[in-house]
Amino acid sequence: MRVLGIETTCDETAAAVVEVDAAGKPHILSNEVLSQIAAHAAYGGVVPEIAARAHLEVMDRIVERALRTAGCELSDLSGIAAAAGPGLVGGVMVGLTTAKALALVAGKPFMAVNHLEAHALTARLTDEVAFPYLLLLVSGGHTQLLAVRGVGDYVRLGTTIDDAVGEAFDKVAKMLSLPYPGGPSVEREALQGDPEAFDFPRPMLGRAEPNFSLSGLKTAVRLAAERIAPLSDQAVRDLCASFQAAVVDVMVERTRVGLKAFRAEMCKPTCLVVAGGVAANIAIQRGLARLATEAGLRLVAPPLALCGDNGAMIAWAGLERLRIGLTDGLDAPPRPRWPLEARKPEAPSSSASSPPGETVLSP
Ligand code: KG4
Ligand code: ZN
């Protein structure tokens, strides 16, 4: 099976071809990503209108390149997938419409992929991990702990009650006048900073539910920066290192609690997986690796190229769906908001509860 995947939910225009061979082994045949960082850098964040236009300008070239590098034609594909959300709707419509048009012309099945599901399933593309596993999904828009039980079968164990972790990195970078995108900038500065220079809070530590809160930490960084302004280069490095150290502590402790919740509700996970743009952060990966060792689990983190948004993860999620018969009509809508809305099994007393363990991908 061979699937073309298209990604345009944020500021990367991406297309890729992924296949599984006769032995069931996955291969990335091409993975073309064109980042719009330069177009948005002056604004310190993604400008939706600029993003949509930029996707449109390069979409056909990126798809052509992905097919050429993979050495295949549309007729060689088993199906075509696009991220239908969640994300910036203008961009989503560019990728979604392109994929639908290609599927229609080539007479191939079409899969409308949830961007979060694509991050969630990437570990099965790179490391062929088996269900069920515990996933820490950390990106610019999401911070969640999920039990991944199967394709389309997710139980959300915890989430952020305010900012996403990538968003916190981006906002801290902005307040310290570091270049966009903020995550890599903060990580770079932190390398030469003292993680103990500032004693920042570790929000939610010790809470029984594996939820997150990042906004208080971000505010603490702002207050500290204001207190010692004007900032020397070393002060910026120390602020970054201390902020990152707090984030690592929070991620590790919250994931430890998530692991407990996972075990209480199901069984031992096959492994611990981290995914999403923030998964590229080495300090977070190291912290999670320590936790995994302590729990007797393997940590699976995507290679750098597959942490951030890319087409291979969309193609792979499309392939995973196609091979169990989950395809979509050409009327599949763009979904600016599309949570991997799997519910933690509700208490029996709740009137809105579904049967324990039943989970859905709902709009
Ligand atoms: O998954 P992604 O590429 O896009 C979304 O779906 O949001 O994640 C982007 C986020 C941004 O907030 C970016 O600053 C953050 O991931 N990020 C990082 C690192 N690299 C990217 N955060 C911390 N450390 C990094 N090395
Ligand atoms: Zn993403």
Judged against a pLDDT cut of 80, whether residue 362 lies above it is answered with no
Judged against a pLDDT cut of 90, whether residue 219 lies above it is answered with yes
Residue-by-residue DSSP string for 168-194 = HHHHHHHHTTPPSSHHHHHHHHHTTS-
Q: Ligand 1: which of 9, 139, 244 to mutate, most ligand atoms within 8 Å of CB?
A: 139
pLDDT tens sequence across 248-301: 999 999 999 999 999 998 899 999 999 999 999 999 999 999 999 999 999 999
Where are the chain's structural domains? 2-122+307-322, 131-304
CATH topology of domain 2-122+307-322: Nucleotidyltransferase; domain 5 (3.30.420)
Residue 157, both tokens: 């164990």
Predicted confidence at residue 355, as pLDDT, reads 34
Average pLDDT in the 120-146 region?
Answer: 96
Amino acid, single-letter form, for residue 264? A
Predicted confidence at residue 342, as pLDDT, reads 52
Judged against a pLDDT cut of 50, whether residue 350 lies above it is answered with no
Report the percent of the chain where pLDDT is more than 70: 94
Judged against a pLDDT cut of 80, whether residue 164 lies above it is answered with yes
| CB contact set of 300 (below 8 Å; sequence gap of 6+) | 123, 126, 127, 129, 133, 271, 272, 273, 274
Q: Nearest ligand to the C-alpha of residue 141?
A: 1
pLDDT tens sequence across 7-60: 999 999 999 999 999 999 999 999 999 999 888 988 878 899 999 999 999 999
The protein residue with its alpha carbon nearest to ligand 1, atom 16, reads 277
Judged against a pLDDT cut of 60, whether residue 211 lies above it is answered with yes
Question: What beta strand segments (E) does 131-260 contain?
Answer: 133-138, 143-150, 153-159
Q: Report, in angstroms and rounded to the nearest whole number, the Rg of the chain calculated over CA atoms.
A: 20
Residue 98, both tokens: 């392109």
Judged against a pLDDT cut of 80, whether residue 132 lies above it is answered with yes
Predicted confidence at residue 353, as pLDDT, reads 36
Q: Which CATH superfamily is domain 131-304 in?
A: ATPase, nucleotide binding domain (3.30.420.40)
Are 318 and 130 in contact by the 8 Å Cβ rule? The answer is no
Burial environment of residue 326 by CB neighbours within 10 A (0 to 12, 13 to 18, 19 or more)? middle
Amino acid, single-letter form, for residue 37? I
Judged against a pLDDT cut of 80, whether residue 128 lies above it is answered with yes
Within this chain, domains 2-122+307-322 and 131-304 share the same CATH topology: yes
By 3-state DSSP, what share of the chain in percent is helix, strand and coil, each rounded to 5? 45, 20, 35
- The tokens 């164990």 sit on which residue? 157
Q: Ligand 1: which of 278, 286, 307 to mutate, most ligand atoms within 8 Å of CB?
A: 278
pLDDT tens sequence across 57-101: 999 999 999 999 999 999 999 999 999 999 999 999 999 999 999
Question: What beta strand segments (E) does the chain contain?
Answer: 2-7, 12-20, 26-35, 79-85, 110-114, 133-138, 143-150, 153-159, 272-275, 299-300
Average pLDDT in the 153-179 region?
Answer: 96
Are 309 and 277 in contact by the 8 Å Cβ rule? The answer is yes
Ligand 1 pocket (Cβ < 6 Å) reads: 10, 139-141, 166, 169-170, 181-184, 187, 276-278, 280-281, 308-309
pLDDT tens sequence across 296-339: 999 999 999 999 999 999 999 999 999 999 999 999 999 999 98
Are 63 and 27 in contact by the 8 Å Cβ rule? The answer is no
Q: Nearest ligand to the C-alpha of residue 11?
A: 1
pTM score, two decimals?
A: 0.92
Q: Closest ligand 1 atom to the C-alpha of 182?
A: 14
Q: Nearest ligand to the C-alpha of residue 12?
A: 1
Q: Output the average pLDDT for the chain.
A: 93
